[in-house]
C-alpha cells in the first residue's frame, strides 16, 4: 500500500512539474500616430495562419513598432503570407497570398476598415489605379488578374494573362503585367484599361518579374533568367516604350536576378541579384538610367525586398535572414553607404513610405 | 529459477501423409507451446539435470535432443515463462507437447523477433517496448500511428486526421532517423526516407516492437534513433473466420474479412480490408479573439489492403514462411488551413506491395540458419491542379522496386555465449519524374554480434551480459560505414530476504555509432526548385543510453523503467538555397538530442486492472550554424516537444460459462508539451491534453464469438493542432462489430 501511495505521489509530481508553455509575446500596444513612417509587410512562415505581420518604423523618433495590426485590433491578425502592401489616400491595402485576402487599415490608427477574401485566387501582387478607382491583383497560379473595385473590394472583372503573373505597372490606359513563369515564361501582357482587353503580348526573355516606371515614362522590366533551362539563361533588364510597345534597350547580366526593380528620382534603377547559398535575394546592382551603365554589387548583402524613399532617395533593403529569424531593414545613402538599420519581423517582403 | 513437476500434455501427432513419427528410440522430439495463447515458443533452452543446454527450440518452437540413458530429467527455461521440469522414464515414440505458462511479469514474456540475436525484453541491453496483441485490442484507433502515439520516446507528427500524413519522431530526432521493419525486413522508403504511419492498418498487426537507440550495428542505415518492427497477424492454431465492420464520425467506414486455415503442416492466414472516410470534420479557426467554425475539405481517404501469411513445415528441421501484402489508397491532401478560404485540391495515390519468403532450418542442435527474401514495390503520385508553374500543374510520381536477401546464422557457442552473423544485400530500381533519370542503387551490409555471460564476476549477485556488435555497410558506390555497438546488461539476482524477495532489477547500457544514408531524393531530385546532391555523405551519430528497470510483485505486478538517452549527430542533411532560386541538400548541421524516458506499469492478475504511465523529456538542439551568422545555434529543433506524458487505465473482466465472455474498457489521457514551429524558437504551438476511451465486449454463442467496441476520440473536445495549420478533429466516435468462428 505504501509503495502504491509513493508511486501515486511520484506520478502527481511528474504531472505537475511539466513545463508550462512559454509566455507569448506581450499584446502589442497600438502604435501612436506617426507622420513619417516606413511600413514593412512581413510574410511570416509558410503555413502559419497568423504569419503576416506589419512593422512600422517611425523615422523621426527612430522607433520601430511590431505587430501593428494586432495592437490596434485587439489581437486580430492579417492572415497568412503577407506579400504586397500599397498605401493610398490615408489607407494601407495589404495582400496576403496564403489566406487569399486583402485587409485595408487606416494609416492613422491602423484599425481595420475593410477586408475581403478571394477563395481560390492565389493572389500575389496588387496595384492601385487611383484614376479608375480600381485594384489590380495578380493570380499567381491561375494565370490571370482580378480587377477589384477600390471602394468595395468587390471583383469587377478577370483577364487571362501568361504564366505566374507578378509585377505590374500602369502607363496611361495600359496595364503591363509581367508573366514570370518562375523563369518559364518570357512575356509581358499589355491590357487596355478600363476596357480590360488584351492590347498586346510582348516577348522579352526568361522570367519577367519586376517592372518600374522611370521619370521619362519608360518602363524597365527585370527578367530573372532560368537556371533550369537547357542551356541555363541569366538575368536581363529591358527598357520598354509603353506607347509604341517597342523594346528600346536591354542589359544582359552574367548571373540570375531576383526580380525586384525600383527606380528613384535620383536617375538610377536598383535591382536585386541572387546570392549563391541563399534562397532569399542577393546584392543590389545599380543602373544609371540615361546611359544604362551597370554597377554590379553596388551594395553587398542578401536582400529580399527593396525600395527607394521618394523624398530622400535613400535605399531601403530588407534582409530576410533566411526566414530563420526576424528580418533586418538596412538604409543606404544614395552612394551606397549604410546609414542605419533596424529589426523588422519574419520575411520582410514589401516596403511602403508614409510621408 | 522455478522448477516444479508439471502435468505433461502428451499428444499424438500424425503427419499429413499418415506417417507416424519414426525416429530412434533415444531421440526425443517435441514442441513448446504458450499455455495461454497456444503459440509456438522459439528459443526455449532445454537443459539436463546438470544445467547443461541440450537443445534450443527453433523458430517454430520445435526441438530434438539425443538422450543416451533413461530416466532423464529435463527442464525448459525461457525468460518470461515459468520454468518446467519433466522426468522421462523411458524413450517415447510420440512428439512431446510442452505447455509453458507465461509469467505475469510482462517485461520478459515477449520475444523480440526483430533482434538479430534472439532475445526477450528482459535479456536485451536496449530499451525496448513491445506493443502486444492484447494491448492493441485495448487501444483506441485504427492505424499504426494510434498504437505508437502513447509510447514513451515517440512523437507522432499528425497532419490532421484521416488522410493527413502521420510520421514519427523518436527521441528528438527526425522522421527519417527511425528504421521501419516488417517481419524484421526493411520497409523504410528509399525514395524519401519516410513511412506514413496512417497508411498501415492496425487490424492485422500481431505486435509492434520499438527498439530505442542507435542500432546500425544490427540493421544498417537509418537505425539512428531506433527501430520499429511490425509483426503481422500470425497463423492461428486452428481454423478460423472473422468478419468485422466499423462505422464512425465524418463518414468513416471500414470492412474486414480474415481467415486462418490449418491443414497438416501448412498454415495460412488471409486478410482483406477496405477503409473509407470523408473526414469533413468541423474545427475552429482562430484569428485573435475571432473564432470561426469551419469544415475540413479535401481530406477524404479510400484504401484497400490485403495480406496472406503462410507457414509450411518441410521436415523436422526446416520451415518455410511466406508473407505477401498489397495496399492501395487514394486520398485528398487538404494542406494547411491558413485562412477562412483555405482550399487545396491536391490528391495523392499510394501503392505498396510486399512479398517475403523465409526459410529457417536447424544446421545442428545449436545452430540455426534463416534466409529471408523480400521484393517490394512502392508507388506514389502527388498532383495539385491548383499549383501551376509555367503552365504545368504539379504532378509528381515515383516508383521503387526493391529486392533484398538476408541470410543469418545464429549459433549457441556455449552455455554462456551466442553469436549471430549474416548479411543484407539489396538492390533498388527507382523511376519518377522528380529525378532527371531513372536510378539504381545496391546496398550491402555484413554484421556480427553476440552475447556473453560473465558468470564468474559477481555471479552471486547478478548476471552480467556483454553485447558486442559490428557492421560494415556499403550503399551505392560512395557511401560506406562501420557501425560498432557495445551493450551491457546487469540483471540482479532475486533476493531471498523478506520484502525484497519479489524485486527484480536490472541495469542496461548501450553505446553505438550509427548512420543514415542519403535518400534517392536527396541525391537525385531534380524539379520544382529542388536539385539533388550526389556528393552527399551519410549522416553520422553516436548514441548512448543507460537505464534501470525494476519489477515487483505485490498487490499485482509493478514495473518501473527509466532510461537516459543522448544522441550526437554530425553531417545532418539540410536543404539550403542553391543560389539560383532552387534548394539543394548539404551535410551541414550538428544536432544533440538528449532526454529521459520513464514508465510505470501496474497490473492485477489476468489484466483485471491495468495502469500505465510514461513520461518523456527531450531536448534536441542545433549545435552548429547552417549559414554564416546563423543566430539559431542551440535552438530547439522545430516540432520536438520538450515533454510528453501518457496515462492509461484499462479494466477487463473475463467470465466463465457465460454469454458475456469478456467486458472491458480503456481510458487514455495524453499530454504533449509545447513545441516550436520557428527555427528561432519565437513561435510555438501550445501544449495540449487529449483523452480517448473505448468500451468493448465479447459475447459467446459457441462456436461463434461476437465482439463489439465503442470508441470515443478526443473525449473532452480539445481544440488543438500538432502541426501548425493542420487542425485536429474534435470529439469523434467509432463503433466496431464483428463475428469470429
ipTM of the complex in this document: 0.89
Give the one of A77, A181, A346 whose C-beta lies nearest to B287's C-beta. A77
Evaluate whether B258 touches B271 at the Cβ level (below 8 Å): yes
How close, in Å, is residue A310 to chain B by CA atoms?
30
Instruction: For residue A270, give the nearest of A226, A342, A238, A222 by alpha carbon.
Output: A222
Cβ A99–B645 below 8 Å, yes or no? no
**How much is the pLDDT for B133?**
87
Evaluate whether B275 touches B142 at the Cβ level (below 8 Å): yes
Cβ B576–A81 below 8 Å, yes or no? no
- Contacts of B20 by beta carbon, 8 Å cutoff, 6+ apart: B14, B93
pLDDT along chain B (741 residues), means of 10: 36 31 62 78 83 78 84 83 83 83 50 71 86 90 91 93 86 94 92 81 87 95 95 84 96 95 90 94 91 93 94 84 94 92 89 94 87 96 92 93 96 88 96 90 96 77 91 92 96 69 86 96 84 92 96 87 97 79 84 97 87 96 88 93 96 86 95 94 94 95 92 96 94 96 90
B304 vs B3, B254, B356, B401, CA distance in Å?
50, 10, 20, 20
Q: Which of residues 309-368 of B touch A (CB under 8 A)?
A: 336-343
Contacting residues of B for A117, CB less than 8 Å apart: 339-341
In our burial notation (b when 16+ CB lie closer than 10 A, e otherwise), range B255-278 reads bbbbbbbbeeeebbbbbbbebbbb
Distance (Å, whole) CA B430 – CA B399 = 6
Q: Which of residues 665-684 of B touch A (CB under 8 A)?
A: 671, 673-674, 677-680, 682-684
- Contacts of B120 by beta carbon, 8 Å cutoff, 6+ apart: B78, B79, B80, B108, B109, B110, B111, B112
CB atoms < 10 A from the CB of A178, how many? Answer: 30
Number of A/B CB contacts below 8 angstroms equals 181
pLDDT along chain A (355 residues), means of 10: 53 64 68 90 92 94 94 94 96 96 96 94 95 97 96 97 97 97 95 96 97 96 90 95 96 93 94 81 94 95 94 94 90 94 95 94
Q: Sign of the CA dihedral A34, A39, A45, A48?
A: positive
Instruction: For residue B254, give the nearest of B157, B329, B352, B165 by alpha carbon.
Output: B329
B5 vs B1, B82, B83, CA distance in Å?
13, 12, 10
**How much is the pLDDT for B12?**
32
Kindly write down the DSSP assignment for every residue of B443-458, as one continuous string: EEEEEEEEEEEETTSS
In terms of CA atoms, which chain A residue is nearest residue B340?
Answer: A99
CA A6 to chain centre: 60
Whether residue A42 lies within 8 A of chain B, CB to CB, comes out as no
CA dihedral A140, A143, A149, A153 (to 10 degrees): -40
DSSP B148: H
Cβ A18–B687 below 8 Å, yes or no? yes
Cβ A346–B678 below 8 Å, yes or no? yes
Strand order in the sheet with A315-319: A305-308, A315-319, A328-332, A338-343
Strand order in the sheet with A144-149: A123-129, A134-139, A144-149, A155-160
B599 vs A222, B20, B127, B642, CA distance in Å?
61, 50, 11, 17
Cell of B350: 499510394
How close, in Å, is residue B382 to chain A by CA atoms?
17
B141 vs B198, B248, B362, CA distance in Å?
11, 11, 40
Whether residue B634 lies within 8 A of chain A, CB to CB, comes out as no
Cβ A80–B391 below 8 Å, yes or no? no
DSSP B132: -
How close, in Å, is residue A334 to chain B by CA atoms?
27
Q: At residue B493, what are phi and psi to the nearest 5 degrees?
A: -65, 150
| Most A CBs within 10 Å, among B581, B643, B680, to test the A interface | B581
Share of chain A above pLDDT 70, in %: 93
B59 vs B41, B313, B360, CA distance in Å?
7, 11, 8
Distance (Å, whole) CA B599 – CA B211 = 15
| Most B CBs within 10 Å, among A42, A160, A279, to test the B interface | A279
Cell of B693: 476511451
Q: Helical H runs in B525-611?
A: none
Evaluate whether A109 touches A89 at the Cβ level (below 8 Å): no
Instruction: For residue A147, give the nearest of A115, A113, A193 by alpha carbon.
Output: A193
Residue at grid coordinates 496576403: A96
Whether residue A3 lies within 8 A of chain B, CB to CB, comes out as yes
Contacting residues of A for B645, CB less than 8 Å apart: 14-15, 18
Whether residue A231 lies within 8 A of chain B, CB to CB, comes out as no
* Secondary structure percentages of chain B, helix, strand, coil, to 5: 5, 60, 35
Cell of B546: 543507460
Q: Helical H runs in chain A?
A: 2-16, 68-72
What is the distance in angstroms between the CA of the first residue and the CA of the last residue of chain B? 39
Evaluate whether A147 touches A157 at the Cβ level (below 8 Å): yes
Three-state SS at B402:
strand
**How much is the pLDDT for A15?**
57
CA dihedral B112, B120, B507, B602 (to 10 degrees): 90
Distance (Å, whole) CA A56 – CA A52 = 14
- Contacts of B331 by beta carbon, 8 Å cutoff, 6+ apart: B162, B163, B299, B300, B301, B302, B303, B347, B348, B350
DSSP B537: P
Whether residue B498 lies within 8 A of chain A, CB to CB, comes out as no
Evaluate whether B168 touches B153 at the Cβ level (below 8 Å): no
Evaluate whether A65 touches A343 at the Cβ level (below 8 Å): no
Give the one of B343, B583, B613 whose C-beta lies nearest to A11's C-beta. B613
**How much is the pLDDT for A277?**
65
How close, in Å, is residue B723 to chain A by CA atoms?
10
Give the one of B338, B555, B600 whose C-beta lies nearest to A80's C-beta. B338
Whether residue B423 lies within 8 A of chain A, CB to CB, comes out as no
Cell of B207: 505486435
Give the one of A101, A182, A324 whose C-beta lies nearest to B632's C-beta. A324
ω into B187 cis (within 30 of 0): no
Instruction: For residue B387, give the nearest of B396, B378, B400 by alpha carbon.
Output: B396
Whether residue A30 lies within 8 A of chain B, CB to CB, comes out as no
Evaluate whether A259 touches A180 at the Cβ level (below 8 Å): yes
Amino acid at each position: 500500500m505504501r509503495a502504491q501511495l509513493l508511486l501515486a505521489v511520484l506520478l502527481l509530481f511528474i504531472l505537475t512539474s511539466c513545463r508550462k508553455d512559454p509566455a507569448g509575446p506581450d499584446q502589442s500596444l497600438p502604435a501612436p500616430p506617426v507622420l513619417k513612417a516606413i511600413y514593412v509587410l512581413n510574410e511570416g512562415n509558410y503555413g502559419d495562419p497568423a504569419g503576416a505581420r506589419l512593422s512600422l518604423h517611425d523615422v523621426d523618433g527612430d522607433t520601430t513598432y511590431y505587430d501593428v495590426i494586432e495592437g490596434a485590433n485587439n489581437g486580430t491578425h492579417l492572415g497568412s503570407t503577407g506579400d504586397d502592401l500599397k498605401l493610398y489616400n490615408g489607407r494601407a491595402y495589404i495582400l496576403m497570398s496564403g489566406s487569399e485576402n486583402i485587409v485595408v487599415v487606416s494609416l492613422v490608427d491602423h484599425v481595420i476598415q475593410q477586408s475581403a477574401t478571394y477563395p481560390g485566387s492565389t493572389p500575389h501582387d496588387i496595384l492601385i489605379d487611383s484614376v479608375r478607382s480600381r485594384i489590380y491583383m495578380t493570380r499567381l497560379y491561375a494565370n490571370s488578374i482580378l480587377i477589384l473595385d477600390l471602394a468595395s473590394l468587390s471583383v469587377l472583372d478577370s483577364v487571362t494573362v501568361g504564366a505566374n503573373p507578378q509585377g505590374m505597372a500602369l502607363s496611361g490606359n495600359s496595364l503591363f503585367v509581367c508573366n514570370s513563369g518562375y523563369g518559364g515564361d518570357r512575356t509581358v501582357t499589355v491590357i487596355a484599361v478600363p476596357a480590360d482587353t488584351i492590347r498586346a503580348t510582348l516577348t522579352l526573355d526568361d522570367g519577367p518579374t519586376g517592372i518600374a516606371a522611370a521619370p521619362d515614362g519608360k518602363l524597365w522590366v527585370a527578367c530573372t533568367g532560368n537556371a533550369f533551362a537547357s542551356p541555363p539563361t541569366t538575368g536581363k533588364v529591358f527598357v520598354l516604350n509603353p506607347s509604341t510597345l517597342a523594346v528600346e534597350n536591354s542589359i544582359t547580366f552574367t548571373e540570375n536576378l531576383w526580380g525586384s526593380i525600383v527606380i528613384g528620382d535620383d536617375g538610377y534603377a536598383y535591382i536585386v541579384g541572387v546570392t549563391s547559398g541563399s534562397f532569399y535575394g542577393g546584392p543590389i546592382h545599380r543602373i544609371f538610367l540615361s546611359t544604362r551603365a551597370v554597377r554590379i554589387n553596388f551594395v553587398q548583402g542578401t536582400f529580399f525586398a527593396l525600395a527607394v524613399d521618394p523624398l530622400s532617395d535613400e535605399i531601403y533593403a530588407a534582409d530576410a535572414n533566411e526566414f530563420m529569424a526576424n528580418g533586418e531593414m538596412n538604409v543606404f545613402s544614395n552612394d551606397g553607404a549604410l546609414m542605419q538599420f533596424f529589426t523588422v519581423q519574419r520575411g520582410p517582403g514589401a516596403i511602403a513610405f508614409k510621408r | 529459477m522455478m522448477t516444479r513437476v508439471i502435468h505433461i500434455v502428451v499428444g499424438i501427432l500424425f503427419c499429413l501423409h499418415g506417417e507416424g513419427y519414426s525416429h530412434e528410440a533415444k531421440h526425443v522430439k517435441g514442441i513448446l507451446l504458450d499455455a495461454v495463447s497456444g503459440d509456438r515458443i522459439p528459443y526455449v533452452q532445454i537443459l539436463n539435470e546438470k544445467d547443461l543446454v541440450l537443445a534450443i527450440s527453433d523458430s517454430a518452437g520445435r526441438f530434438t535432443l539425443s538422450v543416451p540413458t533413461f530416466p532423464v530429467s529435463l527442464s525448459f527455461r525461457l525468460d518470461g515463462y515459468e520454468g518446467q521440469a519433466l522426468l522421462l522414464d523411458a524413450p517415447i515414440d510420440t512428439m512431446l507437447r510442452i505447455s509453458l505458462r507465461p509469467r505475469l511479469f510482462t517485461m520478459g514474456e515477449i520475444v523480440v523477433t526483430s533482434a538479430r540475436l534472439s532475445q526477450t525484453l528482459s535479456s536485451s541491453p536496449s530499451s525496448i517496448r513491445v506493443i502486444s496483441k492484447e494491448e492493441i485490442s485495448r487501444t483506441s484507433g485504427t492505424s499504426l500511428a494510434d498504437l505508437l502515439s502513447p509510447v514513451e520516446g515517440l512523437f507522432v507528427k499528425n497532419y490532421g486526421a484521416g488522410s493527413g500524413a502521420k510520421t514519427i519522431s523518436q527521441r528528438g530526432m527526425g522522421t527519417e532517423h527511425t528504421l521501419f521493419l516488417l517481419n524484421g525486413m526493411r520497409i523504410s522508403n528509399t525514395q524519401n526516407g519516410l513511412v506514413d504511419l496512417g497508411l498501415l492498418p492496425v487490424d492485422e498487426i500481431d505486435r509492434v516492437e520499438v527498439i530505442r537507440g542507435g542500432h546500425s550495428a544490427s540493421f544498417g542505415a537509418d537505425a539512428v534513433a531506433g527501430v520499429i518492427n511490425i509483426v503481422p497477424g500470425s497463423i492461428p492454431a486452428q481454423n478460423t473466420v472473422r468478419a468485422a465492420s466499423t462505422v464512425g464520425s465524418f463518414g468513416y467506414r471500414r470492412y474486414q474479412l480474415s481467415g486462418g486455415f490449418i491443414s497438416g503442416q501448412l498454415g495460412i492466414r488471409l486478410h482483406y480490408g477496405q477503409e473509407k472516410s470523408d473526414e469533413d470534420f468541423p474545427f475552429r479557426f482562430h484569428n485573435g479573439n475571432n473564432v470561426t467554425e469551419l469544415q475540413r475539405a479535401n481530406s477524404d481517404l479510400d484504401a484497400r489492403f490485403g495480406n496472406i501469411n503462410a507457414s509450411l513445415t518441410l521436415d523436422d528441421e526446416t520451415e518455410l514462411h511466406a508473407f505477401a501484402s498489397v495496399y492501395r489508397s487514394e486520398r485528398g491532401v487538404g494542406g494547411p488551413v491558413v485562412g477562412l478560404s483555405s482550399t487545396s485540391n491536391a490528391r495523392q495515390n499510394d501503392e505498396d506491395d510486399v512479398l517475403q519468403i523465409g526459410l529457417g532450418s536447424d544446421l545442428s542442435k545449436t545452430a540455426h540458419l534463416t534466409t529471408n527474401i523480400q521484393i517490394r514495390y512502392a508507388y506514389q503520385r502527388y498532383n495539385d491542379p491548383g499549383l501551376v508553374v509555367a503552365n504545368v500543374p504539379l504532378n509528381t510520381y515515383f516508383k521503387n522496386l526493391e529486392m533484398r536477401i538476408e541470410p543469418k546464422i545464429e549459433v549457441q557457442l556455449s552455455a554462456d555465449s551466442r553469436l549471430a552473423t549474416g548479411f543484407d544485400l539489396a538492390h533498388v530500381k527507382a523511376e519518377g519524374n522528380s529525378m532527371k533519370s531513372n536510378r539504381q542503387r545496391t546496398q550491402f551490409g555484413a554484421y556480427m554480434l553476440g552475447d556473453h555471460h560473465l558468470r564468474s564476476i559477481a555471479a552471486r549477485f547478478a548476471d552480467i551480459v556483454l553485447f558486442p556488435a559490428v557492421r560494415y555497410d556499403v550503399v551505392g558506390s560512395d557511401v560506406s560505414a562501420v557501425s560498432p555497438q557495445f551493450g551491457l546488461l546487469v540483471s540482479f539476482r532475486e533476493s531471498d530476504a523478506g520484502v525484497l524477495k519479489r524485486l527484480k532489477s536490472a541495469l542496461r547500457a548501450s553505446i553505438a555509432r550509427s548512420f543514415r544514408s542519403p535518400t534517392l531524393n536527396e541525391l537525385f531530385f531534380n524539379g520544382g526548385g529542388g536539385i539533388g546532391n550526389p556528393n552527399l555523405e551519410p549522416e553520422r551519430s553516436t548514441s548512448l543510453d543507460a537505464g534501470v528497470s525494476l519489477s515487483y510483485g505485490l498487490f499485482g505486478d509493478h514495473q518501473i523503467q527509466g532510461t537516459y538517452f543522448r544522441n550526437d549527430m554530425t553531417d545532418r542533411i539540410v536543404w539550403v538555397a542553391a543560389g539560383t532560386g532552387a534548394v539543394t541538400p548539404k551535410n551541414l548541421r550538428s544536432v544533440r538530442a538528449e532526454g529521459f524516458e520513464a514508465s510505470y506499469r501496474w497490473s492485477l492478475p489476468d489484466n483485471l486492472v491495468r495502469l500505465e504511465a510514461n513520461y518523456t523529456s527531450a531536448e534536441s538542439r542545433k549545435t552548429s550554424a547552417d549559414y554564416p551568422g546563423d543566430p539559431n545555434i542551440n535552438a530547439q529543433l522545430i516540432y520536438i516537444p520538450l515533454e510528453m506524458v501518457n496515462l492509461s487505465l484499462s479494466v477487463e473482466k473475463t467470465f466463465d460459462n457465460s454469454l458475456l465472455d469478456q467486458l472491458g474498457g480503456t481510458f487514455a489521457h495524453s499530454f504533449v508539451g509545447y513545441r516550436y514551429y520557428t527555427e528561432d524558437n519565437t513561435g510555438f504551438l501550445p501544449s495540449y491534453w487529449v483523452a480517448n476511451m473505448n468500451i468493448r465486449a465479447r459475447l459467446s454463442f459457441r462456436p461463434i464469438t461476437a465482439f463489439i467496441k465503442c470508441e470515443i476520440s478526443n473525449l473532452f473536445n480539445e481544440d488543438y493542432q500538432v502541426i501548425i495549420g493542420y487542425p485536429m478533429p474534435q470529439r469523434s466516435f467509432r463503433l466496431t462489430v464483428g463475428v469470429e468462428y
